[in-house]
Structure 1
Amino acid sequence: MDEEKEGVKNILKRFLLISVGWLCVILGCIGIFLPLLPTTPFLLLASACFVRGSPTIAGWLHQHPTFGPIIYNWKQYRAVDRRIKWRANIFIVLSFFISIYIVPEIWQKIMLTAMVIMLLIWFNRLPETKAVARSTKNT
């Protein structure tokens, strides 16, 4: 009976870890386009969930041509690829520009301007790495 309960418990734990992992992958994908939703932390959390819940899915995520290098660069160097940083800067500026244009109140415009300045300063101070997407380091 105890073994049966333990088996059910393990199945539920794996299901929960895999579900949270996929949710984090989805949020990470959305974060590619929404700069206030960070991609890398969600991918790292997804990786941690998959390593514990499904090593097969973790392997897929680590070998993924888009997500693998992001995870590798952050885990190995605590750095962001230069191309990802460039794209992120463009999306940050565009999305904040649209938001600043849309909001009606001047205090909201000032708040958003301050937020984008702080975000850009923080983000651009992160170390950069060269791409490793086609490197053997990623295997």
Structure 2
Amino acid sequence: MRLFYLSAGILAIVVGVIGIFVPLLPTVPFMLLAAFCFARSNPEWERRLIEHPRYGPHILAWREKGAISRKGKTASLLMLTGSAIIGLVFLPYPWCYTPLGVALICGTWIATRPSG
């Protein structure tokens, strides 16, 4: 099981790093996943993630309070809104309502998390 968590953590780091350069692909959620996996497989790598100046505070805020930064909330809610509008404009009926439904469900969940 340790090898599974280690592999999943490495994969999450790779996807998170790709997310730095690819628009609309989030980075922090993959770093959170990597920290979770490394906590179960490689404590040294988990410690390095937690001490990282950019991702460490987000990981600790999520672990301690389930909190998302105000900047992260704003960015994600704006992106969800934009996706819903694009879907409503460009997708045929009834598929045009799918991005709207996802945005409402995910946006509500994000908006109800504490701010970190």
Q: Which residue of 2 aligns with 1:25?
A: 13
Partners of 1:27 and 1:39 within 8 A in 2: no
Partners of 1:79 and 1:128 within 8 A in 2: yes
Q: Which residue of 2 aligns with 1:133?
A: none
Give ranges in structure 2 of 5+ residues lacking alignment: none
How many angstroms apart in 2 are the aligned matches of 1:126 and 1:108?
29
Percent of paired sites with the same residue = 26
How many angstroms apart in 2 are the aligned matches of 1:117 and 1:66?
29
- Which has the larger helix fraction? 1
Q: Which residue of 2 aligns with 1:66?
A: 54
The alignment's TM-score, normalised by the length of structure 2, stands at: 0.74
The alignment's TM-score, normalised by the length of structure 1, stands at: 0.64
User: Higher Cα Rg: structure 1 or 2?
Assistant: 1
Match of 1:80 among 68, 82, 94: 68
Correspondence list, 1:45-56, <5 A: 45-56=33-44
Give ranges in structure 1 of 5+ residues lacking alignment: 1-12, 130-139
Give aligned pairs, total: 113
